[in-house]
Structure 1
Amino acid sequence: MKGTEASLESRIAVTSGVTVENVRDVFNTYGLPLVNTPARLRGLRLHRLRVSGVRTGSLDPGPFDTTLRFSSGLTALVAANLKGKTSVLELITWCLRGVPRGLQAGVRHWLTELDLDVVVARHPMGFRLDLMDGEITSAVVLTSPDVQALEAVRTPDPARDIIPAVRANSSDSFASQVQALMMDRLDLQPLVNSFNETGTQTHGWPSYYGSIYLPTGGDKVLLGDQAMSGLPGRLLQVFLDLPAAATLTRVKTAYDVRTAAYKNRRTAAEEAVSARQAEREQVEADLGVARARLAALGPADDGASLAELAAQAAALARQVADSQESWEELMQAHRRARKQRQRDAKILNDVTESATARLLFHGLDPKACPRCDQAIAEDRKSDERDTHACAVCLRPVAGDDEIPEEVTAEASQRLSESVITEDEAHEALEEAEAALARLTHDLEAVEERLRSARAVTQLPERLMAQEAVLRLEGALSVFPQLPAVAEDPVEATTIKVLGAGTQVLEGDSKSAASVLFAEVNKEILQLGRRFGITSLEAVEIDRSARLRVVKDGGVKDWFGKQSAGERLRLRIAVVIALLRVGARHGISTHPGLLLIDSPKAEEVQDLDAHTLLRELFILAAESDLQVLITTADSALAHDVLRDDHILEAAAGKPLW
C-alpha cells in the first residue's frame, strides 16, 4: 500500500471502528477509489466552425457556406440583432454538448452541413454533422494528430491517421455518444445525488457544460444552468480539483441511499411488530369483553348439561387447533420428502449419464451463491452438466471417474431411502388429515348440540357469547408473534464505513477549501470592482457555490438578489477567480472555454460596457482563457479589441 491510500483507508477504519479490510471490502463493493488521483488536463479550444445550407424566408434567402476561425483570448461575434450571433454559440454547443440549448427551429432547418474543429484535452477533434429538416442524418467525430489536418476533411482518412471516434445516424444517437465521449476525454465523473431517499439521480456532460456556456444575467444560478440537486456546488470540481471531491460525492450518495434504505426497512419491521402486538392486544381485549358478557348472563337452568357441552366444545376447539398445526407441519414434511425424492431421482439420472455429475456427487449442491445469496440460474446448472463447468465459480470440473458403479449404486440407495421417507410422510399426513376431519366433525356436532340444547329466550345470546369466547381463545392460542428486529452486521458495517468515509473526505475537502476559498473571495472582490461594481465591499463563496455579497455600507445579500447586470459580472468574476486560484495551486481543471451571450444586454442601466469588455480581454489573455461573446455594438468591440479578435458581419448582413 502506498502512503496516500493507506492513510485514507486507515483513517476511515479508525473513524468507523472497523478493520482496514472491512473498509476495502465496502469501497470495492461500491467501486469507490481509496486513492486520490489528480484529474487530467481538461483544456478545450475552438479553432474553426463551418456551417452551410440554404436560408429560407424573406431575409437574405439563398445558399450559404461560411467558415469562422477563432483566436485565443477574447473574441467578439458582432452583428445586428437576429443576425446569427447567438446561433453561432448554439451551433458550437450542438457539436460539443450533443444537443443545442436554444437553437431556433427555423435556423435548424436551414442547415445541411455543420463542422467544428476543436482541441479537447490536447487531442484534436473534428465534428462533422450532416443534417436534413433540422435533424442529424449522419455524424462523425474525427480525431487527428494535427488540428490543421482536419480543416479540409469530412470523412475518415486512415492514411493521414484521421480516424473516427464516434459515428451516429440520428440526433439522439449523436447526443448520447458525444456526451459519453466528452466525459471520457475530459476525465469527468457523473454527478450522482440521492433522490427520493432510496434512489439516485445521475447528471452527465450537459450539466457540466453549463460551466462553459454561461447563463444570462436573468438566471439566478451562480455556476452551471441548473439549481436542482445541489449541482452548482458540485460543479466546483470542474474549476478546482479539491481533494477527493468526486469521491466524496459518490461516497456521500452511497451513504445517504444505504442509510435511508436501512431506516425504511427497520421502520417497516418495527411497524409490523407493533401492528402484530396491537392485533394481539385487541384480541385479548375482545376476549375480556366476551368473557364478561358471558358471565353477565348468569348460570343457565340446565347448567350441568350446558356446562359439559361448552367444556367439550372448548376442548375440541383446542384439539382442532392442535390437529391443524400438526397437519400443517406434516404437510411441510411431506413436501420436503417429495422434493428430496425428486432431487435424488434427478441425481441418479445425472450420475448415470454424466461423469461430471459423478465427480460432483459427494460435493455440495448449493441452491444459491454462498457470497451474495442470489439463486443460481438454471442455465448455469445446465452448463455444469453439458460443459463440465461448476455452476458456482464456472471453473471446469476435472478428475478421474474411476468408480462410476459405486457412485451410481450410492445414488440409487439414496433414492430408495427417500422413496421410503416420502411414503412414511404421506401415511402420516393422511392419518393427520383423518384425525383433523374427525375432530372437526366432533366439534361441529357439539356446537350443534349447544345451539339446540334449550329453546329459551336467553339461550341464543348465551351460545353466541360462548362461541365468541371460544373463537377468541382459539385465535389467541395460535396467534403468531414476530421476532424482534435484528441487526444485520454486514449492513451495519457498510453504513459505518460509508459514514466514516463521508466524514473523513468531508474534512479533507473542507480543509483544502478553507484556504483556497479565502483566495477566491479576494479575487472575486477585485474582479467585481474591475468589472464596474464599485459599491462591492466583500464576497464570500462556499463549497455549495453559494455567493454572499456585501455592498452599500455593509448590507449582505445573496447572489440571486443582485441585479441582472451585477449577476452577470459576478458570474464572470467567479469563473476567472476560480481559474486563477486553481492555476496558482496547480489544481485548475476547468476546460478554459467560456461562451457569453450578449453581456451588454444585461447592462442597460449602469454598466460601463467598455470596462467589462476591456478587463475581460486582459484577464482572458492572462488566464489562458478562450472567451466568445456576442454583441450588437460594433463600436464597443472595435474600441476595445483588435481586429483579429472580432468576427463581424457586414452591415445589415447575417454573420453566417
Structure 2
Amino acid sequence: MNSSAADRPSHQDGSLAARIASRAKTTREDVEDVFTTRGLPLAYPPARPRPVRIHRLRVDGNRVGVQPEGPIDQTFTFNDGLTALVASNLKGKTSVLELITWCLRGAPRAKLQGDVRRWLTRLELDATIAGQPMGFRLSLTPEALLSGVVFTASSVDQLTDTDGIAGGSGVSTLIEADNQDDFAVKVAELMLDRLDLQPIVNKLTTKERVRTQTHGWPSYYSAIYLQLGRDRPLLGNQNMAGLAGRLLQVFLDLPATAVLARVKATYDVLQAEADKQSENTKRAVAERADERARVEEALAEARRSLTQLQKAAPGPDLTELADKSARLARQVADAQDEQDEINRGYREARRIRQLDEKALNDIRESEVARLLFHGLNPSACPRCETPISGDRRQAERDVHRCAVCTTEVTGAEGEDEAVEAEARDRVEGSKAAEKAAKQALGTAEANLDRLTAELETVQANLRTATAATASRDRIAAEIEVARWEGALQVLPNLPDTPTNNGDVTLTVLKSASKVLEDESKGAAAQLFADLNAEIVDLAHQFGMTALESVEINRAAQLKVIKGGGAEKPFVDQDPGAQLRLRVAVIVALLRVGARYGISTHPGLILIDSPKAEEIQDADATVIFRELNRLATAEGLQVLITTADFHLAAETLPAECVIAAKPGDPLW
C-alpha cells in the first residue's frame, strides 16, 4: 500500500511569488515586499515527520484527605501500541492522561482535579518527539509550578537516568522555566518547532472590529487527546473559526495550509479596516455636506435680511466706509511724513542760499574775502577747535591777516572778477534749489490738506451712519453675513470616498489567497478520495457494517451514508459511531500519509472512558479489540481508560493493561 513521495500531489510548481504577481498583475518585487512587511512566508516546503511517543510517567507526591493517605511514588511504562488504564471511577485513571497532558501541552487542563494537583511534588515524563528523546521534569507545590525543565538525551534509556539538571554526556537542556506561564509558552514553542507546525491564524469578527486569532500548540494537542461528546467536532475540540478543517488540512500536509490561513486572515483584517475607513469617510462626507447645507441656508437668510435692510433704509455701506476711513488714515500719515521730509529739505536749501549770498557780499566788500574765497572759512581752529574771535576776523578784513594763523594774506592782481563771478553762480544755484524745494513743500502741504479733509468727511459720514438705528441693524446684518461666510470657508467639501481597488497590498493578498487556495484544492482532490476510502474501511473494521460511504471535506465536515443511501452528518451520529469515526479519521490520515510520504497526525491518541459516552458493551468490545490491532499494525500509540475491568481483560493482552485492584487508586 505504500508508495514513493513522487506519487504525492505536487506542492509547488515554479515561484510562488511569480504566480501571485501574475494573478495580481503586479511585479514580483511588490509581492515580496507585501509578504515581508506582513511577516508572511513565501514558501511551504513539505513538513518533517512528526511522530510522538510517550514511554514513562513518574508521579511523586503525598496523598492527603483521601484514603489511602501517604507518600506517592508511582511509575507508569507505556507500550508502543495500546495501553489501557483500568481502575474504578474517581481512582486516578483520568488523572494519568491529564498529567501527561500537563507535560506535553505545557499547561494543565481544568479537568485535572484541584485536590490531585495539591498532592503532587514532582512529575517526570519521558517521550520521543519527532525522533528526538525528551524528558519533561516539573517541580511543584500545592499552589504553583516551581520549575519546569525539558531536556534531550542521546537515547530514551538515558532520559530515565537523569533529571535533566546533571548535564551528563549527551544531555542538553531545551527549556528552563520558573513559573507556569513561562513553561507553557516555552513548551508550545518547542513542540511547534519540533513537529514542524505553524500557528493557525483565523479571522475573528466582533462588533468593534475585525482582528486575527492565533491557535497554537494547545489546539493541535486537542487532536491528540480526543474530546468525546455530541457537541465536539470531528477533529479537535472547537467548532468555531473553522479550526477542525485547519487541523485536517495541516495533518494532510496540504500545500500552503498554514500560509493560506495567515494570508486570508491578514487580508480579511486589512479589508475590514479599509471598509471601516471607507464607511467613516462616507459618513464624514455626508456629515460635512449636511453641515455645509445648514451654513449655506443660514448665509442665504442673512443675505436676504441685509438686502431688505438696505432697501428699507438706503445708505452707505458701513463696512466700505470703515475700510475707506482706515485707508485714508494711512494715506494722511504717509503724507504727513512726506511733508515733514520735504520741509526739512526746504529749510536746508534756504540756509545754503543765505550762506552763498553772504559769501558774495563779503567778496564784494573785502579783498581778503576774495583772496580766501577758494579756501576755507572755518569758525574754529582746525587743529585745536578753538573758536576764531571777532577781533581776528576784523583784522582779516582790515589789515589782510588770516584769522586762523595771523599770517598776512597776499594775492595776485586780476583774480577779483573771476572769484566774484563764481560766487554769483553759487548764489543762483542755491536760489534755484530753494525755489524747487519750496514748490515741493507747497505740493506736499496741499496733498496733506486734501487727504485730511477727505478723512474728516469719511469719518463724519461714518459717525453719522453709525448713529442711526437703521445703520446699527445693517451693521448687525453685515456681521451676520460675514460670520456665515467665514463658517462656510472653514467647511470645504471633502473628497469622495477613496476606493481600495488600487491598493497593492490588498490586491496582492487577495491574489495570493486565490493562488494558494487553488493549489491546496488541487492537491487535496486525490488525498480526500483516498481518505474517504480508508475511513470506510476502518469503520467497517470497527463494526459499522451498514456504512456505505463517507465524504469528508476540507472543513472536516463528514457526511455519513449508510444502507439505503440515508445521509446523516457526523454530528447526528450516536456516541459510539462518533468515537469510531474519530479514530478512523486519525488512522486514515496515517495510512494516507504513509502512502504519499507526507507527515500527518503525530500518531498518539488519548481516549478517556469511551463507555461513559453511552457506548454499548458490544461496541466497546469491538472498539478496544480493533484499536489494539490497529495500533500495532499502523504504528499508532493509544492510551485509553476504562472502569470496566472485564472489558479490558477479555479484549486486550495482559501486557497492554495497567490496572488497579477494584476500589483501589491507580496511583
| Same fold by TM-score greater than 0.5 | yes
Change (3 A) 1:285 1:451: farther
Question: For residue 641 of structure 2, what is the aligned residue in structure 1?
Answer: 630
User: Are residues 1:50 and 2:58 paired?
Assistant: yes
Please, which of 2, 21, 29 is the counterpart of residue 37 of structure 2? 29
| TM-score between both structures, scaled by the size of structure 2 | 0.72
Cα pair 1:208 1:238 within 8 Å, conserved: no
Of stretches 39-48 and 560-569 in structure 1, the one that deviates more from structure 2 is: 560-569
Please tell me whether residue 11 in structure 1 is matched to residue 14 in structure 2: no
Q: What is the percentage of aligned positions where both structures have the same residue? A: 51
Residues 148 and 134 of structure 1: CA distance in aligned 2, closer, same or farther (over 3 Å): farther
1:562 matched to 2:570? The reply is: no
Q: Please point out which of 528, 537, 542 is paired with 2:553.
A: 542
Name whichever of 155-164 and 65-74 sits farther off.
155-164
1:132 alignment counterpart: 141
Pick one of 212, 218, 240 that aligns with 2:252. Answer: 240
Secondary structure in structure 2 of the residue aligned to 1:207: helix
Say if 1:451 and 1:463, in contact at 8 Å, map to a contact too.
Answer: no
Give the counterpart of 2:220 among 208, 212, 231. 208
Check whether the contact 2:586–2:601 (CA below 8 A) recurs between aligned residues.
Answer: no
d(CA) in 1 for partners of 2:123, 2:26: 57
Note if contact 1:105-1:134 (Cα within 8 Å) is conserved in structure 2. no
Q: For residue 531 of structure 1, report the CA deviation from its aligned partner.
A: 2.6
Q: Distance in 1 between matches of 2:526 and 2:275?
A: 37
Amino acid at match of 1:204: G
Q: Does 1:471 find its partner at 2:483?
A: yes
Instruction: State the SS of the aligned residue for 1:33.
Output: coil
Q: Which has the larger radius of gyration?
A: 2
Cα distance, 1:544 vs structure 2: 1.4
Q: Where do residues 47-196 of structure 1 align in structure 2 (5 Å cutoff)?
A: 47-101=55-109, 102-196=111-205
Aligned-pair CA distance for 1:131: 1.2
Tell whether the 8 Å contact from 2:274 to 2:500 is kept in structure 1 after alignment. Answer: no
Contact 1:309/1:449, CA 8 A, preserved across alignment: no
* 3-state SS of paired residue (1:194): strand
In 2: Cα distance, 1:177 partner to 1:450 partner = 89
1:46-95 CA-to-partner distances (Å, cap 9, x unmatched) read 10111121111242111121111100111111111111110000000000
Match of 2:335?
none
* CA gap 1:266/1:316 in 2 versus in 1, 3 angstroms: farther
* Structure 1 residue aligned with 2:443: none
* Contact 1:220-1:559 at 8 Å conserved across structures: no
Which stretch of the first structure deviates more once superposed, 53-62 or 475-484?
475-484
**Deviation by residue 1:571-609 (Cα, 9 ceiling, x = unmatched):** 222222222222211223211100000111113458521
CA distance in 1, matches of 2:642, 2:555: 32
> Which of 294, 305, 308 is the equivalent residue of 1:282?
294
Deviation at 1:266, TM superposition (A): 3.4
Aligned equivalents of 2:583 and 2:123: distance in 1? 29
- What amino acid is the match of 1:125? M
Distance 1:178 1:503, change over 3 A: same
Give the 3-state SS of the residue equivalent to 1:629 in structure 2: strand
Match of 1:647 in 2: 658
Q: CA shift at 1:313, angstroms?
A: 7.4
The answer on whether the counterparts of 1:137 and 1:169 sit within 8 Å (CA) in structure 2 is: yes
Would you say the 8 A contact 2:127–2:156 is kept in 1?
yes
Unaligned runs of 5+ in 1: 318-444
- Partner of 2:409 in structure 1? none
User: Which residue of the partner structure matches residue 236 of structure 2?
Assistant: 224
Q: Deviations over 1:468-505 (max 9, x none)?
A: 3332233334543444556789x722221111111000
Which residue type is aligned with residue 69 of structure 2? P
2:625 to 600, 614, 621: 614
Contact persistence 1:603–1:609 (CA under 8 A) = no
Contact 2:211 2:269 in 1 (8 A): yes
Aligned mates of 2:212, 2:490 — CA distance in 1: 44
Letter matched to residue 218 of structure 2: P
Structure 2: where are the runs of 5+ without partners?
A: 1-10, 327-458
**Matching residue's letter, 2:104:** L
| Superposed displacement of residue 218, structure 1 | 4.1
**Residues of 2 paired with 1:607 and 1:30: CA distance?**
54
User: How many residue pairs are counted as aligned between the two chains?
Assistant: 522
Aligned residue type for 2:655: D
C-alpha separation in 1, matches of 2:540 and 2:168:
54
- Distance in 2 (alpha carbons) for counterparts of 1:153 and 1:63: 22
Residue deviations 1:29-57 (CA, integer Å, cap 9, x gap): 23333333111111100101111211112
Please give the alpha-carbon distance, in whole angstroms, between the structure 1 residues aligned to 2:531 and 2:490.
71
Give matches, 1:262-301, under 5 Å: 262-295=274-307, 299-300=311-312
Q: SS in structure 2 opposite 1:217?
A: coil
Could you list the per-position Cα deviations for residues 105-139 of structure 1 after superposition, in whole angstroms to 9, with x for gaps in the alignment? 00011111211100001110111111111522122
Secondary structure of residue in 2 paired with 1:71: coil
> In 2 relative to 1, CA 219–99 (structure 1 residues): closer, same or farther, beyond 3 Å?
farther
Alpha-carbon distance between aligned partners in 2 of 1:477 and 1:651, rounded to the nearest angstrom: 90
Contact 1:90/1:103 (<8 A) preserved = yes
Q: Structure 1 stretch 245-254 or stretch 526-535: which is displaced more?
A: 526-535
Alpha-carbon distance, 1:230 to partner? 1.9
